[in-house]
A and B are shown apart, each in its own frame.
Chain A
Amino acid sequence: MSELIGKGAAELGELIASGETSAEEVAAAHLDRIHAVDAEVHAFLHVDREGVLAQARGIDERRAAGEELGPLAGVPVAHKDVFTTKDMPTTAGSKILEGWRPPYDATVTARLRAAGMVILGKTNMDEFAMGSSTENSAFGPSRNPWDLTRIPGGSSGGSSAAVAAYEAPLGTGTDTGGSIRQPAAVTGLVGMKPTYGGASRYGMIAFASSLDTPGPFARNVLDAALMQAAFSGHDPMDSTSIDAPVPPVVEAARRADVNGLRVGVVKEFAGEGYQPGVLNRFNETVELLESLGAKVVEVSCPHFTYAMPAYYLIAPSECSSNLARFDAMRFGLRVGDDGTRSAEEIMALTRAEGFGPEVKRRIMLGTYALSSGYYDAYYGKSQQVRTLIMRDFEAAFEQVDVLISPTTPTTAFPIGERADDPMAMYLADLCTIPANLSGNPAISVPCGLADEDGLPVGVQIMAPVLADDRVYRVGAALEKALEDRWGGPLLAKAPKLEAGE
């Protein structure tokens, strides 16, 4: 494998900028890597080699013409298939959208292009971002590069698998209940859910509008910050986008210190259901933070344990409405149109065939929660719980600067283990959901391998709304101290994927 693919995004950007390599060489190296390993990893749903090389040549030409380009110009990115792309199909992992070519670019897509990044292809995901394993993809699961029999997390599991397998230095994801942080944790990556509204949702196929947040995957904290900075900022096409400067995330990632910072350990996220190896690494991380000069206290967020039930009412409710547009009338799959059936019948047949079981389950659950007679008891109550969780965050941030917890209770589980047990699958998001309900920024950074299975464990760092820089600062400090201890990045311990012969 080319040594270019081992390098991080910031480093690649510098090498391209200095002329030591070109965007085209970097793109070709990653395309070769995809070609070599993706049959096993199955991170990508779509890769157009010629198109990618053309994008890269375009960047090289712009640079040759003397254009001033950003720090990520020429750096490849694996783009989650939930973002619309004019030049590539966009499926959101669903059969109902198979082959759809959107007539427009998502804002995130457009900003990646504007930053000069090269979009390698579209990555696999749980259908409409519903799931924690990519097993709900209509196009088959992606695999965890640490152990190909295990899940790479989800829903953004294609991107996490791609970055962990060195198919790309950066990946995009979306996080509705943990869909960036949980896959990052189980593949040994950095994954960040920015403040809700910090980056545009325009062109991001909606799962649950009030929760969905785009964010980056990277193999180190600085790379994640660079990409977040590249695609964030106010977008007039998204009413929920915040009209304020992007927090100084890159500076914070470079600063990397926690001296004097008050760190709160969320009391509720430990105990039964947590894998011992996960808790061991987490507890060591807490001690490490203390040794780095942070003041660690335990904080109670009593309503966080109600976050999951509230989430499984709010997210399905919004999704039941968001997914109504997939109706076989204007785009996408149409089933059974024999000239005799009514539009109503065609809609029902198409949706039954085009959606997978988890999507149907959530549509049904959401329809139930919103229907007359049940609204107050379910949707209404869950919105009140949302208020309580926000109040827990507010109270906690009066005492501490950041909150920390394990990212997910277990390491990567085997493919198939929870596939037909929705409740077990939902547990993967136990610790990540509160930050979605409240809109707070939260990052997952690798903190070691579990003793039982040798698989990666992530620690989650949460900060107040718009204090995204603070989680980068803590994440980078931890990363530095841990890598000193490990003698290199955690991912270096991953088994080598051999070029598929």
Chain B
Amino acid sequence: MSVETPMKYEPMRYAEALARFEPVLGIETHIELGTVSKMFCGCRTVFGAEPNTQVCPVCLGLPGSLPVTNRAAIEGIIKIGLALNCDIVEWCRFARKNYFYPDMPKNYQISQYDEPLCVDGHLDVEVDGETYRIEIERVHMEEDTGKSLHVGGETGRIHGADYSLVDYNRAGIPLVEIVTKPITATGEKAPLVARAYAAELRDLVRSLGVSDVRMEQGSMRCDVNVSLMPRGADQWGTRTETKNVNSLRSVERSVRSEIERQAGVLAAGGRITQETRHFQEATGTTTSGRSKEEAQDYRYFPEPDLIPMAPPREWVEELRATLPELPAARRRRVQGEWGLTDLELRDVVNAGALDLIEDTIKAGADAGAARKWWMNELSRRATEQSVELADLPITPGQVARVQAMVDAKELNDKLARKVFEGVLAGEGGPDEVVAARGLKVVSDTGALEAIIDQVIADNADAADKVRSGKVAAVGALVGAVMKASRGQADAASARELLLKKLDQA
């Protein structure tokens, strides 16, 4: 028997791939819950702690140790299940998933197999104004593994490494796995739907307060399954699973590149191997994981060290009652309250400004002003500094305070921007910046009149034009007043006074 050499296939252009094939997706998402202790022991869960400082006999899998389930983790997963419209089952068990791997201390993972805690839910996502309902197959509870550092070889990658160093701080952190049913009929929108699902799920879980869902820190990770079937066929193709995709952008790109790759293979008469693949950020493509000599056989069986879970219905209803307003409902509400178009709403959501604007409104600002400051001035500064809007060193309360001063005509917009500049530069709160920088609208009518009289005298031509009825010419005079007052005059008042003095009021 001859050894088959792997063929090299060229990926197909996306448009052509979509013309010939229909993609089917499936997404498994792992989310680390933000409990203070681990899933089955009392160790801390702080991200980035010194290696092996958050370990004990239980999460190190030492002989004799036993797990005890963290109630808060179960509450967390039930909340997620409820928010995803799932049924919470009446009775279920943990199961052991048996396989050997050095970062998994017991060489089995405590997980759930055929008895997940939450089943049959859905999550609606929107892409380009169209709603896609993503059916949720199951949501189950498990534990995370440790982390390996690969030493030697070229790149610190696993292949070619001489040995590895393992830190078990992450081992045993509660992990919720959310599995979709096959996602079909998305056509060319498949990559966008996958991304929108991941984003919506992230926002949903964040709104529940059960995880920080930071993809860049690995507290949310997606495994994306993709298969293609020729258009008109009724049988799905073989799928591949791209593991641990760790940003929204990568979710989208990995689906797109996997569609292009699989289409290229299939069109050239090749076969798709059911395998694990890895997304490479640098090239935007997926590469094959090492193919296994033998099919995995996880030998699941009920975890004898843990007692079955039978969440009482009252408990489930109590938890349901604590659910906050979920992102979709909230978006619908604020869109109405703030009077936004679909496009404006999307911009606000994409900028991560929803909370900030809402909190600013709660602190007293009106919706229009709150949105204006966050979406324009402050977004611009966040972009300049390459930080998230929410990470700017300014609070919604401070933004509302600035707007209050504008409303009271103590500041104009130009001065307000200077106040923001001062706050962001760490000069203190809005009132301190106003005081320190002497930023105050000239509201003393006498002082303003003196400036205006001087401006009229200096700009006789323009003044005459206004007197003769060319009211538009007043703009130049207002500008001169603002200049003379070094920006501290209130433009509207100046205009009013000018027109009055020039007999046009």
Contact = CB atoms under 8 A, between A and B. Distances in A.
Interface of A: 83-84, 90, 92, 97, 100, 102-104, 106, 201-206, 208-210, 236-240, 317-318, 320-321, 324-327, 329-331, 339, 343-344, 347, 367, 370-372, 375, 379
From A106, A202, A326, name the one whose CB has the most chain B CB atoms within 10 angstroms: A202
A210 B304 contact: yes
B108 interface: yes
B62 A102 contact: yes
B307 to A, nearest CB: 5
B306 A239 contact: yes
A222 B57 CA distance: 35
Interface stretch (B95-103, B319-327, B491-499): B95-103
A330 B61 contact: yes
A67 to B, nearest CB: 29
- Residue of A97, A201, A239 most packed against chain B (CB within 10 A): A239
Given A324-B108, A347-B100, A370-B98, A240 B64 contact: no
B297 interface: yes
Given A205-B64, A347-B100, 10 more contacts: A102-B62, A236-B68, A239-B66, A240-B307, A320-B98, A321-B96, A326-B63, A370-B300, A372-B297, A375-B299
B431 to A, nearest CB: 53
30 contacts: A84-B63, A84-B64, A90-B63, A90-B64, A100-B63, A102-B57, A106-B64, A202-B64, A202-B65, A203-B64, A205-B63, A206-B63, A209-B305, A210-B304, A237-B68, A239-B66, A240-B305, A318-B301, A321-B108, A321-B301, A324-B108, A327-B100, A330-B61, A330-B105, A331-B63, A343-B102, A343-B164, A347-B100, A370-B98, A372-B297
Given A239-B307, A343-B102, A347-B100, A325 B68 contact: no
A330 to B, nearest CB: 6
A125 to B, nearest CB: 13
Interface of B: 57, 60-69, 96, 98, 100, 102, 105-108, 162-164, 166, 297, 299-301, 304-307
A339 B305 CA distance: 36
A238 B66 contact: yes
B200 to A, nearest CB: 35
A239 B69 contact: yes
Contact of B62 (A104, A201, A375): A104
Chief secondary structure at chain B's binding surface? loop
Contacts of B98: 320-321, 324, 370
B306 to A, nearest CB: 5
A204 B65 CA distance: 8
Contacts of A343: 102, 164
B63 A318 contact: no
A324 B65 contact: no
Given A321-B108, A325-B105, A370 B68 contact: no
Contacts of B304: 208-210, 240, 318
Given A317-B301, A331-B62, A325 B106 contact: yes
Contacts of B108: 321, 324
B102 A329 contact: yes
For A210, A324, A331, the residue with the greatest tally of chain B CB atoms inside 10 Å of its CB is A324
The 5 closest A-B pairs by CB, nearest first: A324-B107, A370-B299, A209-B304, A210-B304, A203-B64
Q: Which of A84, A92, A201, A237 has the most CB of B within 10 A?
A: A237
Contacts of B69: 239
A83 B64 contact: yes
Contact of A104 (B57, B96, B106, B166): B57
A239 B64 contact: no
B107 A327 contact: yes
A83 B63 CA distance: 9
Contacts of B66: 201-202, 237-239
Most chain A CB atoms below 10 A, which of B164, B166, B299, B307: B299
Given A324-B107, A325-B105, A379 B301 contact: yes
A470 B105 CA distance: 41
A97 B63 CA distance: 10
A371 B299 contact: yes
Contacts of B106: 324-325
A281 to B, nearest CB: 36
Given A324-B106, A339-B162, A370-B301, A206 B96 contact: no
B137 to A, nearest CB: 20
A347 B99 CA distance: 12
Contacts of A237: 66, 68
B64 A204 contact: yes
Contacts of A339: 162-163
A202 B305 CA distance: 10
Contacts of B107: 324-325, 327
Nearest to A346: B102
Contact of A325 (B61, B300, B306): B61
B262 to A, nearest CB: 27
